[in-house]
């Protein structure tokens, strides 16, 4: 079996390395210089240094070559690039090959979740969604990882579950594509708040409370969109939220921490050097919450900080000064 991985960032590289331990993998990157470096050093020195490419991984900047003979396509591009990437793949392979969607967030301007973007571009395409507590480095280093694999079609999940498991990634199946997608998208916004709070020194107790109330926001929005409540108690809900909010490997947490230290958003993004999906998702989540009349004060606070409307310290003060209410 051959799997094509589209996107040579940290996550795409890690998945290619993992899958490449048992299957043939074509890892596609649009940046010819990066691809050349990876071929020479057998390592992605820019995005995942120290993790060697397994023998089964072929790196290319020619999309036709990456897709030739593939049984599945892993979309490991940021959400903002997903639409164009799917269009390009569809023009070459049509609807015959299933997609594994790994990006998280909402598409800017449309407010669509990643799987909805795929449906919008290719209505007949089959897809599964990978989400849950997992970092690229852990997957690349073959550390045990447990994730959700969501699809309305079990045969699509089966295409990817075996090769993931052989690479050390254990999958649990889920048919709640809305809940899994919302959990993966909104947790990044909450992680920015957690990073800011930690930088401000709010303390472990307040931080735990912040993250718990953040989970409530994830649940409320997901349920309003038609998700199953129990999904948010699982890997793609509570599990992914906990990892993203409390680990220093989290890009969104690190960006929030930089903001909490007084850096501007531009400075924080430059220092990060990678995409923090929560930055792009925050405003879309807020607009969606307003349209659905879902209360999400933490998300609103993060959006106001990202737009430089308010400082992280003032945002924290406002959140903790909110009037007492029922926990439900």
Residue 128 burial (C-beta neighbours within 10 Å; 0-12, 13-18, 19+): buried
Task: Let me know if residue 10 belongs to a domain.
Answer: yes
Confidence class for position 114, pLDDT limits 50, 70, 90: very high
How large is the average pLDDT for residues 56-67?
A: 97
> 248 and 158 in one domain?
no
What local confidence, expressed as pLDDT, does residue 296 receive?
A: 97
Give the pLDDT band (50/70/90) at residue 326: confident
**% the chain with pLDDT above 70:** 100
CA distances from 192 to 47, 51, 167, 316 (A): 21, 27, 30, 12
**Number of compact structural domains in the chain:** 2
Out of 118-127, 144-153, 206-215, 317-326, which region has the weakest mean confidence (pLDDT)? 317-326
Is pLDDT at 111 greater than 80 in this prediction?
yes
pLDDT above 90 for 89: yes
In the listed set 119, 143, 175, which residue is the last one of a domain according to the structure? 175
Q: Compute the average pLDDT of residues 252-271.
A: 96
Domain termination residue (choose one: 122, 148, 175): 175
What's the pLDDT at 328? 72
Pair 315, 252 in one domain? yes
Residue 327 is predicted with a pLDDT of 85
Question: Which pLDDT belongs to residue 274?
Answer: 84
Task: Please give the pLDDT value at position 230.
Answer: 97
Q: What is the mean pLDDT of residues 248-257?
A: 96
If asked whether residues 85 and 159 sit together in one domain, one would say yes
Judge contact between 312 and 260, C-beta under 8 A.
yes
> Any idea what the CATH number is for the domain that residue 191 is in?
1.10.1040.10
Arithmetic mean of pLDDT, 244-260: 96
Whether residue 297 is contained in a domain is answered as yes
Q: What is the pTM of this model?
A: 0.93
What is the model's pLDDT at position 275? 83
User: Which one of 150, 175, 200 terminates a domain?
Assistant: 175
Same domain, 199 and 260: yes
221 to 215, 228, 276: CA distances (angstroms): 10, 11, 21
Q: Show the domain range for 48.
A: 2-175
CATH of the domain at 132: 3.40.50.720
Q: In the prediction, which pLDDT does 95 show?
A: 87
Q: What is the mean pLDDT of the chain?
A: 95
Catalytic (active site) residue 263:
no
In-domain check, residue 327 = no
Does 156 share its domain with 194? no
Whether 207 and 305 map to the same domain: the answer is yes
- If you search the block for the tokens 């507590």, which residue do you land on? 133
Would you place residue 7 in the very low, low, confident or very high pLDDT band (cuts 50, 70, 90)?
A: very high
The answer on pLDDT for 273 being more than 90 is no
Catalytic residue among 2, 80, 104, 187: 187
For range 75-90, the mean pLDDT: 96
Question: Could you report the per-residue pLDDT of 163-220, keeping only the tens digit for each?
Answer: 999 888 999 999 999 999 999 999 999 999 999 999 999 999 999 999 999 999 999 9
Question: Is residue 153 in some structural domain?
Answer: yes
Question: Does 52 reside within a domain?
Answer: yes
pLDDT tens digit string along 282-315?
Answer: 999 999 999 999 999 999 999 999 999 999 999 9
Residues 239 and 292 occupy one common structural domain = yes
Q: Which helix (H) or strand (E) holds 59?
A: strand 57-60
Instruction: Indicate the helix (H) or strand (E) that contains 251.
Output: helix 251-260
Same domain, residue pair 145 and 246: no
Distance CA 15, CA 5 (A): 8
The b-or-e profile of 70-109 (16+ CB within 10 A means b, else e) is bbbbbbbbbbeebbebbebbbeebeeebbbbbbbbbbbee
* Dist CA 7 CA 27 (whole Å): 7
Question: How much is the average pLDDT of 119-141?
Answer: 95
């Amino acid at each position: 079996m051959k799997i094509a991985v589209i996107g040579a960032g940290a996550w795409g590289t890690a998945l290619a390395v993992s899958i490449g331990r048992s299957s043939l993998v074509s890892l596609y990157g649009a940046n010819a210089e990066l691809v050349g470096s990876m071929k020479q050093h057998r390592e992605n020195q820019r995005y995942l240094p120290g993790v060697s490419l397994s023998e089964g991984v072929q790196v290319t900047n020619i999309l036709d070559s990456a897709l030739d003979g593939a049984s599945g396509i892993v979309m490991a591009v940021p959400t903002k690039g997903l639409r164009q990437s799917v269009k390009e793949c569809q023009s070459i392979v049509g609807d015959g090959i299933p997609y594994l969607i790994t990006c998280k967030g909402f598409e800017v301007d449309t407010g669509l979740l990643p799987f909805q973007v795929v449906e919008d571009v290719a209505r007949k395409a089959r897809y599964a969604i990978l989400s849950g507590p997992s970092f690229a480095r852990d997957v690349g280093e073959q550390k045990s990882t447990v994730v959700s694999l969501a699809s309305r079609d079990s045969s699509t999940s089966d295409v990817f579950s075996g090769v993931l498991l052989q690479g050390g990634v254990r999958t649990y199946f889920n048919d709640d594509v809305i809940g899994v997608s919302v959990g993966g998208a909104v947790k990044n916004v909450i992680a920015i708040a957690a990073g800011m709070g930690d930088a401000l020194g709010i303390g472990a107790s307040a931080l735990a409370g912040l993250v718990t109330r953040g989970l409530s926001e994830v649940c409320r929005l997901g349920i309003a969109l038609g998700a199953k409540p129990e999904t948010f108690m699982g890997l793609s809900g509570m599990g992914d939220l906990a990892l993203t909010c409390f680990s220093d490997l989290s890009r969104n947490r690190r960006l929030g921490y930089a903001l909490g230290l007084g850096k501007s958003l531009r400075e924080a993004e430059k220092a990060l050097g990678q995409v923090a999906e929560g930055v792009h998702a925050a405003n879309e989540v807020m607009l969606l919450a307003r349209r659905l009349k879902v209360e999400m004060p933490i998300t609103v606070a993060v959006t106001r900080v990202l737009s430089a409307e308010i400082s992280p310290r003032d945002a924290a003060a406002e959140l903790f000064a909110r009037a007492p209410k029922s926990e439900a």
